[in-house]
């Protein structure tokens, strides 16, 4: 066994508290298409899915062409929101996550992100918070199937040379945990995101963290460090 240990973080709802921006952008996109905007809880329920899959789940009656139109309006609305002066305060890091990321890297753990965000949005978010240099592999639906398909995890492991028993996925939704289970790696849940604890446990989360300090201890325990 080699010495590579890999931790893959979800982004929205795990590293970043982005629910306000996501819901606002989705509402605007639906309105631009003359559709009734989905409620906040409905949008929370599809965060982590690829954008087209999320829109299809929110409005199953839409045909693929209409889904694509909503998707384009969402992207335009999302990036317009990021140009507003108070954007950073409306898409903050969760408490303790920046220190956690830096400490794990300092200890020699290879870090990555596996997210439903587009690569452009992910890179912007990480750079905005000064975290971009800490992550060795970025996996998005631009280069792999979306969650809960295991492709993003398998590609990340192949890139850095990590084995399943040396890999941990961190996420706040069942899509994250299902992806981890499908890839044959450990999945750790967090309580501060979008899906309830019971759902994470039912999907097979090995453990669930209450805060960043607790998550740190769970990661080191899972990796045997």
What tens digit of pLDDT does each residue of 100-133 get?
Answer: 999 999 999 999 999 988 898 899 889 989 999 9
Q: What is the pTM of this model?
A: 0.81
Regarding whether 130 and 96 lie in a shared domain, the answer is yes
* Claim to verify: residue 115 and residue 82 sit in the same structural domain: no
Q: Is 126 found in the same domain as 32?
A: no
In a domain, 51, yes or no: yes
54 plus 162 within the same structural domain: no
Look-up of token digits 């903050």:
92
β partners of residue 213: none
H/E element holding 187? strand 186-190
Residues 24 and 117 in one domain: no
Rounded Cα distance between 128 and 133, Å, is 11
Residue 125's nearest CA partner among 99, 88, 80, 100 is 88
Does any domain span residue 31?
A: yes
SS3 category, 211 = coil
CA atoms of 54 and 49, how far apart (whole Å): 6
Q: Give a yes or no: residue 1 inside a domain.
A: no
CATH number of the domain residue 163 falls in: 3.40.50.1000
At residue 3, the pLDDT reads: 86
Residue 5 contacts residue 223 (beta carbons within 8 Å): yes
Distance CA 173, CA 190 (A): 8
Q: Are 97 and 206 in a shared domain?
A: yes
Are both 70 and 125 inside the same structural domain? no
Distance CA 16, CA 37 (A): 23
Taking a C-beta distance cutoff of 8 angstroms, is the pair 212, 94 a contact?
A: yes
| 51-108: pLDDT as tens digits | 899 999 999 999 999 999 999 999 999 888 877 776 655 688 999 999 999 999 999 9
């Amino acid at each position: 066994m080699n010495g590579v240990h890999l931790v893959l973080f979800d982004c929205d709802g795990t590293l970043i508290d982005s629910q306000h921006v996501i819901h606002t952008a989705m509402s605007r996109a639906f309105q631009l298409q003359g559709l009734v905007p989905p409620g906040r809880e409905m949008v929370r329920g599809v965060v982590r899915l690829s954008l087209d899959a999320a829109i299809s789940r929110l409005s199953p009656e839409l045909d693929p062409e209409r889904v694509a139109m909503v998707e384009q309006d969402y992207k335009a609305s999302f990036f317009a929101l990021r140009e507003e002066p108070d954007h950073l305060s409306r898409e903050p890091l969760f408490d303790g996550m920046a220190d956690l990321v830096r400490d794990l890297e300092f200890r020699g753990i290879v870090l990555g992100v596996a997210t439903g965000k587009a690569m452009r949005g992910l890179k912007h978010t990480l750079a905005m918070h000064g975290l971009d240099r800490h992550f060795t592999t970025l996996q998005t639906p631009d280069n792999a199937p979306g969650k809960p398909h295991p492709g993003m995890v398998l590609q990340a492991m192949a890139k850095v040379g990590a084995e399943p028993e040396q890999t941990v996925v961190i996420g706040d939704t069942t899509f994250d945990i299902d992806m981890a289970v499908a890839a044959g790696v450990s999945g750790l849940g967090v309580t501060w995101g979008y899906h309830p604890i019971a759902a994470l446990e039912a999907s097979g989360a090995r453990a669930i963290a209450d805060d960043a300090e607790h998550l740190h201890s769970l990661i080191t325990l899972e990796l045997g460090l």
